[in-house]
């Protein structure tokens, strides 16, 4: 029996630490793994985009473009892969087409190979231009289907979307399951139907999170249905709200008709590298270590729940999370059943919080109003006309039916002017793009950039101290603490510290 080769995309350098440790991993904690990653035989190495760009400039004082160039140098034999939010690029609003093209051009120029392009609403109009830009600049254009569950989402609908992506010239289709909702049977059905409809040489990449504990089985079924590449994370950076382990997915295929080209000895070295790194980021780590199947009921991804919880707590209403979780599906229905993924998950979640705290649709967030008025694009379902009217009244904006970016004036020249006027900018188009996407953060970053990267992980000494404290071998007092001490009838305030 001839074995079919399955490709693997390694997520350790991007989505794994984004999902497990709030995107805080510093480049310096990745570089020593790169030689092994480069030689392991992955189909691609996801290492950029998503939230990493934001985290680099906001938390790590790292230039994201420099990070990309470093990966390009350290992974000369690998296809580098990024996650691109369609017309939003890596920011949180729609950009005009010349900016989108500039960003794609600069990403390709700095070394990016595979662009996984998605839109939070699955609106193909938001994907067409970025996909065309990727193709124009020689990248691999991967058109993405965001998988979600609703009364309107069907296998046929996903197949249709796949066709639209192929019509845009997609080099491959990604089935992206950001909330771990993709069960084995739908995984099989969707992929089988896409292959049957558009031909078995249609490349399909599958991206699942592990949160619900079912998706490794979904990857198996996806492979059986014809999937070509699956996304995994090295075991020491896997599971929980992250992804299925690379090693387990490879072992799972043994004896089936499928095989991979990945070098397992390299995987051991990669695993050991990150096993040594993760304890540094413990304070950012997700508390989920087992599985969470409640998501199937609520369809609310874990990260969204913790966001809503902190919003409620900030309003002194931490006890109302259940009400908010019941409100989310209603808000989602009113919005026409968007998938819940950045930024739609935040937009829907925040509006649900507003509805519970202030009365249903008494106050709309600006973003939710825009969503209702079509400024993010079209969803699968009709929007609730009453809520659209409220949005119109509140914002004095008219609903649109055109592609959102078509309402934007050309803005590149203006962005160049803005960017190059900021103190500390280096005059590059890369800096212009950084500021365009994060105008609130970039100026501070440009100023601080000369100080160099700031690793927010704990030091080796702190990690050792943590381990000692956990083993119970610690001293009770490890840093100066002030106590009130009473001797007889005399009280004093004293400071106690290790001698």
Tell me which residues touch a copy of itself (CB under 8 A): 183-186, 189, 212-214, 216-217, 220-221, 235-236, 238-240, 244-245, 247-248, 251-252, 254-256, 268, 289-294, 296, 475-478, 481-487, 492-499
Q: What DSSP assignment string belongs to 181-223?
A: ---HHHHHHHHHHHHHHH-TTS-EEEEE--TTS-HHHHHHHHH
Q: For the CB of residue 496, give the shortest distance to a copy of itself in the complex, in Å.
A: 5
Q: For the CB of residue 224, give the shortest distance to a copy of itself in the complex, in Å.
A: 10
Residue 318: how many CB atoms within 10 A of its CB?
12
> Which alpha helices (H) appear in 199-343, and where do they start and end?
215-225, 246-252, 264-277, 294-298, 302-314, 321-334
Based on CB atoms, which residue is closest to a copy of itself, 216 or 311? 216
**Is residue 39 a contact partner of residue 256, using CB atoms and an 8 Å limit?**
no
Based on CB atoms, which residue is closest to a copy of itself, 385 or 477? 477
Based on CB atoms, which residue is closest to a copy of itself, 265 or 406? 265
- Could you tell me how far CA 273 lies from the centroid of its own chain? 23
* Residue 175 parent element (H or E): strand 172-177
Q: For the CB of residue 15, give the shortest distance to a copy of itself in the complex, in Å.
A: 16
Which token pair is 5? 């080769």
Cis before 343? omega within 30: yes
Q: For the CB of residue 480, give the shortest distance to a copy of itself in the complex, in Å.
A: 8
| Best CA proximity match to 207, nearest among 14, 474, 421 | 14
Q: For the CB of residue 119, give the shortest distance to a copy of itself in the complex, in Å.
A: 26
Based on CB atoms, which residue is closest to a copy of itself, 358 or 467? 467
Q: For the CB of residue 311, give the shortest distance to a copy of itself in the complex, in Å.
A: 20
Q: For the CB of residue 126, give the shortest distance to a copy of itself in the complex, in Å.
A: 30
First-last CA distance in the chain: 70
Alpha carbons 203 and 195: distance in angstroms, whole number:
9
Distances in Å between the Cα of 308 and the Cα atoms of 120, 295, 318 are: 19, 15, 9
Helix axes 125-136, 97-109, angle to 10 degrees: 40
Based on CB atoms, which residue is closest to a copy of itself, 396 or 484? 484
Based on CB atoms, which residue is closest to a copy of itself, 171 or 189? 189
Based on CB atoms, which residue is closest to a copy of itself, 248 or 365? 248
Residue 39's Cβ-count burial label (10 Å; 0-12, 13-18, 19+) is: middle
| Best CA proximity match to 375, nearest among 354, 392, 350 | 392
Q: For the CB of residue 76, give the shortest distance to a copy of itself in the complex, in Å.
A: 28
Based on CB atoms, which residue is closest to a copy of itself, 164 or 256? 256
Based on CB atoms, which residue is closest to a copy of itself, 27 or 220? 220
Alpha carbons 376 and 326: distance in angstroms, whole number:
24
Based on CB atoms, which residue is closest to a copy of itself, 2 or 201? 2
Alpha carbons 235 and 287: distance in angstroms, whole number:
17
Q: For the CB of residue 188, give the shortest distance to a copy of itself in the complex, in Å.
A: 9
Q: For the CB of residue 40, give the shortest distance to a copy of itself in the complex, in Å.
A: 15
Helix axes 184-198, 215-225, angle to 10 degrees: 20
Contacts of 155 (CB under 8 A, 6+ apart): 186, 189, 190, 193
Triad 211, 115, 221: Cα angle to 5°: 40
Q: What DSSP assignment string belongs to 98-137?
A: HHHHHHHHHHHHTT--EEEE--TT--THHHHHHHHHHHHT
| Best CA proximity match to 277, nearest among 227, 310, 236 | 236
Based on CB atoms, which residue is closest to a copy of itself, 77 or 264? 264
Q: For the CB of residue 235, give the shortest distance to a copy of itself in the complex, in Å.
A: 5
């Amino acid at each position: 029996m001839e074995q079919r080769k399955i490709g693997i995309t390694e997520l350790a350098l991007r989505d794994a630490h984004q999902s497990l440790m709030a995107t805080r991993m510093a480049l310096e904690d990745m570089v020593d793994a790169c030689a092994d990653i480069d030689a392991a035989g992955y189909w691609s190495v996801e290492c950029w985009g998503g939230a990493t760009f934001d985290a680099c400039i906001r938390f790590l004082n790292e230039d994201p473009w420099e990070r990309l160039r470093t990966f390009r140098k350290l992974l000369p034999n690998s296809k580098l892969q990024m996650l691109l939010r369609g017309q939003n690029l890596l920011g949180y609003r729609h950009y005009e087409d010349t900016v989108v093209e500039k960003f794609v051009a600069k990403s390709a120029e700095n070394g990016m190979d595979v662009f996984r392009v998605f839109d939070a609403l699955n609106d193909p109009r938001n994907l067409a231009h970025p996909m065309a830009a990727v193709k124009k600049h020689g990248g691999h254009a991967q058109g993405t289907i965001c998988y979600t569950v609703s009364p309107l989402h069907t296998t046929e609908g996903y197949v249709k979307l796949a066709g639209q992506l192929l019509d845009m010239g997609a080099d491959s289709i990604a089935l992206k399951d950001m909330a771990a909702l993709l069960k084995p049977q739908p995984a099989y059905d969707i992929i089988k139907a896409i292959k049957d409809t558009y031909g078995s040489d249609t490349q399909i990449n599958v991206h699942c999170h592990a949160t619900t504990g079912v998706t490794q089985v979904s990857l198996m079924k996806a492979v059986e249905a014809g999937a070509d590449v699956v996304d995994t994370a090295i075991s020491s950076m896997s599971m929980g709200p992250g992804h299925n382990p690379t090693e387990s997915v490879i072992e799972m295929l043994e004896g089936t008709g499928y095989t991979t080209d990945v070098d397992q000895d390299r995987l051991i070295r990669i695993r050991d590298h990150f096993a040594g790194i993760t304890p540094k980021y413990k304070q950012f780590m997700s508390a989920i270590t087992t599985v969470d199947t409640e998501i199937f009921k609520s369809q609310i991804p874990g990260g969204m729940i913790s966001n809503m919880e902190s919003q409620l707590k900030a309003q002194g209403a931490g006890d109302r999370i259940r009400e908010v979780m019941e409100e989310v599906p209603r808000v989602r229905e009113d919005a026409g059943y968007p998938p819940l993924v950045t930024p739609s998950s935040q937009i829907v979640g925040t509006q649900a919080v507003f509805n519970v705290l202030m009365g249903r649709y008494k106050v709309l967030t600006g973003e939710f109003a825009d969503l209702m008025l079509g400024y993010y694009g079209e969803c699968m379902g009709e929007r609730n006309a009453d809520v659209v009217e409220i949005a119109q009244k509140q914002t004095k904006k008219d609903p649109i039916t055109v592609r959102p970016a078509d309402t934007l004036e050309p803005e590149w020249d203006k962005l160049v002017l803005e960017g190059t006027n900021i103190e500390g900018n280096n005059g590059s188009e890369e800096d212009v793009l950084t500021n365009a996407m994060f105008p609130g953060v970039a100026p501070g970053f440009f100023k601080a950039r000369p100080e160099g990267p700031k690793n927010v992980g704990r030091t080796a000494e702190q990690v050792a101290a943590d381990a000692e404290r956990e083993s119970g071998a610690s001293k009770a007092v490890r840093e100066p603490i002030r106590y009130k001490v009473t001797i007889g009838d005399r009280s004093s305030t004293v400071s106690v510290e290790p001698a």
